[in-house]
Chains A and B, each alone.
Chain A
């Protein structure tokens, strides 16, 4: 949980953003749409940029240079590792939860 500590309400959006960026770099609007597809619920621009600022401050993503106002972001090595760790943790949870509830 290290990379995701103290993210509060930005924890889930942050994971969705990291997973979204695992594919290829994306700018704000594309990210917002992809995160909605991944999470099944819309994400607002305030939440999106709140999460992006935190992820950038922690070195999990970085902004790429851009000629226009839409700046793309890409995953850093630390971000990819954090996403993998978090997804593995969720996989373990899903496996155990499925056993317990009999799915």
Chain B
């Protein structure tokens, strides 16, 4: 996959140019401290090397890793485990949100009609519910090592950042309870209930972004003082 040194022609050159430009742009995703130390070298390398989708993907993974291991992050903190946990947490949470959108798509009044026609809609409805439950449990399991490391750190400020997603999750659960209450107590409130459902999904998306920010601040707070990169 390395650059053979020969000139690229026509479509190959255009494709190479696109991926190379994208790769150079992806360096922006690295943390500021990381870019100060390594960006010039990386730009020099990327300008010399062939641009490929594989290299862009590798840079994306590297940027995620660098965000989770910002320069100054030392050893002895089981960061590899935490990185894996964060990856699984992101995946499980994305699955949970996707299940929510799929669920909202099936909230139409003709669900019963589909079920009666034997289209399998009812089965899909239950599968989505089961999938959401599995994703929620997986997210909790993936979050556990991160929570445990925060508790072990004993840093109150770090734990305060960790409390952000917890508070957001409690507020989300309260919103879901309100939605269920509206649906059960007022049969004419379908429109209001659907509005609340969409609002909850938007809240979930915003909450995810804010939680990601809080998680990053938490990881930065809990970095050990010894064995650091000081460049």
- Residues of A at the B interface (CB closer than 8 Å) are 5-9, 27-29, 32-33, 36, 42, 44-50, 52-53, 56-58, 68-71
Contacts and interface: CB of A to CB of B under 8 A. Distances in A.
Interface string B130-158: 00000000000000000000000000000
A49 B229 CA distance: 14
B194 interface: no
Nearest to A49: B38
Given A29-B45, A32-B45, A57 B2 contact: no
B43 interface: yes
Contact of A42 (B43, B54, B61): B54
Contact of B65 (A33, A46, A52): A46
B42 A45 contact: yes
Interface in B1-48: 1-2, 23, 34, 37-38, 40-46, 48
Contacts of B2: 32-33, 36, 42
B223 to A, nearest CB: 12
27 contacts: A6-B75, A6-B78, A6-B79, A8-B80, A8-B83, A9-B80, A27-B45, A28-B41, A28-B42, A29-B48, A29-B49, A42-B2, A44-B54, A45-B45, A45-B46, A45-B58, A46-B58, A46-B60, A46-B63, A46-B65, A52-B38, A53-B34, A53-B66, A56-B231, A57-B228, A70-B44, A70-B45
Interface string B193-231: 000000000000000000000000000000000011101
Contacts of A5: 75
B208 to A, nearest CB: 24
Contacts of B76: 6
Interface of B: 1-2, 23, 34, 37-38, 40-46, 48-49, 54-55, 57-63, 65-66, 71, 74-76, 78-80, 83, 227-229, 231
B229 A71 contact: no
Interface centre among A7, A8, A46, A56 (most CB of B within 10 A): A46
Main secondary structure of the interface of B (DSSP, over half): helix
A32 B49 contact: yes
A48 B42 CA distance: 10
Contacts of A44: 54-55, 57-59, 61-62
Contact of A46 (B1, B61, B229): B61
B23 to A, nearest CB: 7
8 nearest interchain CB pairs? A46-B62, A44-B58, A8-B80, A42-B1, A28-B45, A69-B44, A69-B40, A46-B58
Contact of A45 (B49, B71, B78): B49
B186 to A, nearest CB: 53
A47 B62 contact: yes
B68 to A, nearest CB: 11
Contacts of B59: 44-46
